[in-house]
Amino acid sequence: MMGLVRDRARWSDAQLLAAIARCDDRAFSAFYRRHLSLVVGWCARRADPELAADLTAEVFAAVLIGAARYEPTHESAAGWLLGIARNVLGHSVRRGQVDGRARRRLGASPLTVEDDDLARVLELADDQASSAGALLAGLPVDERLAVRARVIDERDYGEIARSLGCSEMVIRKRVSRGLARLRAQMAS
């Protein structure tokens, strides 16, 4: 089993999601392991560790349901995944409790978050922050500031432009160049 998961670790996100849609459980595990720290890190920046674990469970359940509808636009499905995370968080905020629709639809049994798991959430979030930080550190300062403000802090282009004292067009170019550079770094 582990060997087969490792084998799928070399597959692209699009290949993994297509295989998940065809009921390939090892493809699911490979996709999950590849993106777990990204999702946990994203959720942990917006909620306490217990809620972050619960939100993560819902996000990956939604991934399973939505895998067949995935249309690859980039090499990585990270953007698609964070879009799901945003939807789950938005719905949870509106209802005042963590969204559980995807897990209910799948018939998943509820998992409880133990005290030890909270430390694991923080550990995964730190992993994500340090790997994102290491990647960002490789960018020129102007691109790093623009990418951080836009992608990590999710600020509007206009707001970033005002705070950095340049035009919105310049910020868009910096974010675009920065993301292209990050993609190249990740590919290499």
Partner 1 sequence: MNGDFFDRLDAELAELTRQGAHLTAGDSVCRRAGRLARRGVAFALVAVTLAAALVSEFPASASGHGEVAQALTAQRL
List interacting residues with partner 1 (CB under 8 A).
20-21, 23-29, 32-33, 36, 40, 53, 56-57, 60-61, 64-65, 67-68, 102, 105-109, 111-114, 116-117, 120, 124
Q: Which is nearer to partner 1, 51 or 136 (CB)?
A: 51
Instruction: Report the C-alpha gap between 111 and 10 in whole angstroms.
Output: 29
User: Hey, what are 180's tokens?
Assistant: 């292209």
In 40-179, DSSP assigns E strands to none
For partner 1, which is the closer residue by CB, 30 or 151? 30
Q: Name the residue nearer to partner 1 (CB basis): 40 or 146.
A: 40
CB 104, min distance to partner 1, A: 9
CB of 86 to partner 1, least distance (A): 20
Least distance between partner 1 and beta carbon 71 (Å):
16
Nearer to partner 1 by C-beta: 9 or 166?
9
Going by C-alpha positions, the residue among 173, 179, 172 that lies closest to residue 135 is 179
> What gap in Å lies between CA 8 and CA 30, rounded to an integer?
6
Distances in Å between the alpha carbon of 98 and those of 43, 53, 92, 102, 114?
Answer: 12, 10, 5, 11, 17
Nearer to partner 1, 65 or 82 (CB): 65
CB of 186 to partner 1, least distance (A): 23
CA gap 168, 156 in Å, rounded: 9
Taking CA 110 as the corner, what is the angle to CA 65 and CA 97, rounded to the nearest 5 degrees? 80
CB of 151 to partner 1, least distance (A): 24
